[in-house]
Amino acid sequence: MTRHLALIALLAALTAPAAHAVEYRTVLPKQSTIHFEFRQMGVPVKGGFKRFTTQMVFDPAKPEAAHAQIEIDLASIDAGSAEADDESAGKLWFNRSAYPKATFVSSQIRALGNNRYEMRGTLTLKGRSRDMVVPVTYAPGHSAAIFDGSFILKRLDFGIGEGLWADVATVANEVRVTFRIAASGN
Amino acid sequence: MSRAMRYSTLAIALHWLIALLIFVAFPLGVYMHELPLSPDKLKLYSYHKWIGIMVLLLAAIRVSWRMTHTPPPLPAGIAAWQRHASSAVHGLLYLLMIAIPVSGWLMSSAKGFQTVWFGVLPLPDLVDKNRELGDLLAGVHKALNFTLLGLVILHVGAALQHHFIGRQPFLQRMGWGKKERT
Ligand code: HEM
């Protein structure tokens, strides 16, 4: 009897961590969003990207091994109005014919506690790469976990809005990017 | 001209201030609308909206003044149909002074561009962002404006006609010319 109990306890001990460890790697595009907001003449303007692909691996037990890579199709932009959508494709903005995509590749993910993480990585836009630090929160869920993050990028660091558009009094340099990635465990 | 034939100083000041602002906002609206997207276009849109909201504020004061005061009577010898026409045109002008900026504000809300008065005072969006509604309201804003243009031509024409051809001191009613002592 005691032998049996010991065996069950041993089995439980062995299988429990495996059963609890979820590795999130299947991103659910329909529940994932990328939005941005910037100020134009002091007026907040909202936009976003409708098409992007995310590859990620995240195991809450091993955050340091986590990895994320996002590729955004810049043609899927909503820049606030049809006029701005068209304008954003031009050379002074994204120069989309030469640089159709934006990418983010994580380099390091650090747990801050309380389901908060700090993700470092490289954002490449219009052929320019910059290191970014992005705070991310993780919310475990039944069918999918949600990863929310938000950071501010300076558009001029990437040459987004050159020439006459470099005037930050009209279109602010700071753009707040907010994303939500939903991923299911395996 | 007796004081009783003249609008009050407040009414006169509001009349000319609003007229001036509309004379700036109107051509600005027509001009900016045709420009290709540029920082200057964004600036002009903002200035237009700020001036328009100023008109709304002043028009609200003016309409409240009008509802609590009786304007000076028209001189004798003005035909009855002209009295009716004049009060109808004045009523519509007051209506448009309110309806035009309100339609502009609604349009801006529907287009997703909030109005931040002078870049500091955010006005609430009156409707949610909706592209079709935005386009519809742009058409309404335009139609109201061209109605205003027609009425202003009538209004100015009538005032000048009475003043110069009818030889009645019409312009003094709105403060032009010397104030006569009573
Ligand atoms: C007395 C006040 C105003 C006058 C006389 C006025 C006049 C005009 C005129 C003549 C146009 C051009 C219409 C066209 O040709 O399509 C215009 C366009 C416009 N107005 Fe106003 N407006 C006034 C107030 C406002 C206000 C208060 C706002 C917003 C808060 C506003 C927002 C706009 C916008 C956004 C356009 C451009 C429409 C487009 O791009 O299709 N206006 N306005």
Average pLDDT over residues B71-91: 91
pLDDT at A79 (0 to 100): 96
Domain A22-185, CATH homologous superfamily name and number: Lipid/polyisoprenoid-binding, YceI-like (2.40.128.110)
Residue B69 resides in a domain = yes
Of B37, B111, B119, the CB nearest to A42: B119
- B89-93 LR contacts (CB < 8 Å, sep 24+): B89/B151, B89/B154, B89/B155, B89/B158, B90/B155, B92/B147, B92/B151, B93/B148, B93/B151, B93/B152, B93/B155
> Which residue type is seen at A178?
T
CATH number at residue B138: 1.20.950
Q: What is the pLDDT of residue A11?
A: 55
Q: What is the mean pLDDT of residues A2-13?
A: 60
Number of domains chain B contains:
1
pLDDT of residue B18: 98
Residue B182 scores a pLDDT above 50: no
When pLDDT is averaged across residues A64-86 and rounded to a whole number, the result is 96
- Best of A35, A41, A155 to disrupt the B interface (most B CBs within 10 Å) is A41
Q: Are A133 and A151 in contact (CB under 8 A)?
A: yes
In a domain, residue B179? The reply is no
Asked if residue B41 has its Cβ within 6 Å of ligand 1, the reply is no
Q: If we measure between CA atoms, which residue out of A91, A37, B36 comes closest to residue B45?
A: B36
Is residue B112 a part of any domain in this protein? yes
In which domain, by residue range, is B167 found?
A: 3-174
Mean model confidence pLDDT for chain A? 91
What 8-state DSSP symbol labels residue B114?
-
Over range A51-77, report the average pLDDT. 95
Strands (E), chain B: 116-117, 121-122
Domain boundaries, chain A: 22-185
DSSP annotation string for A84-130: HHHHHTSTTTT-TTT--EEEEEEEEEEEEETTEEEEEEEEEETTEEE
**pLDDT attached to residue B168:** 83
Tell me the chain A residues in contact with residue B115 when contact means C-beta distances shorter than 8 Å: 43
A163 touches B: beta carbon within 8 Å? no
Say if B39 falls within a structural domain: yes
Question: Is the CB–ligand 1 distance for residue B25 below 6 Å?
Answer: yes
- Does some domain include residue B154? yes
Q: What is the pTM of this model?
A: 0.88
What pLDDT was estimated at residue A75?
Answer: 97
Strands A43-49 and A33-40: antiparallel
In a domain, B128, yes or no: yes
Q: pLDDT tens digits, residue range A97-150?
A: 999 999 999 999 999 999 999 999 999 999 999 999 999 999 998 889 999 999
**B48 within a domain of the structure (yes/no):** yes
B99 is a domain residue: yes
Strands A171-185 and A43-49: unpaired
Residues facing residue A117 across a β-bridge: A111, A136
Q: Which of B40, B42, B121 to mutate to test the interface with A (most CBs of A within 10 A)?
A: B42
pLDDT of residue B178: 59
Q: Are the Cβ atoms of B113 and A46 closer than 8 angstroms?
A: no
d(CA A10, CA B63): 85
List of chain B residues whose C-beta atoms are within 8 Å of the C-beta of residue A38 = none
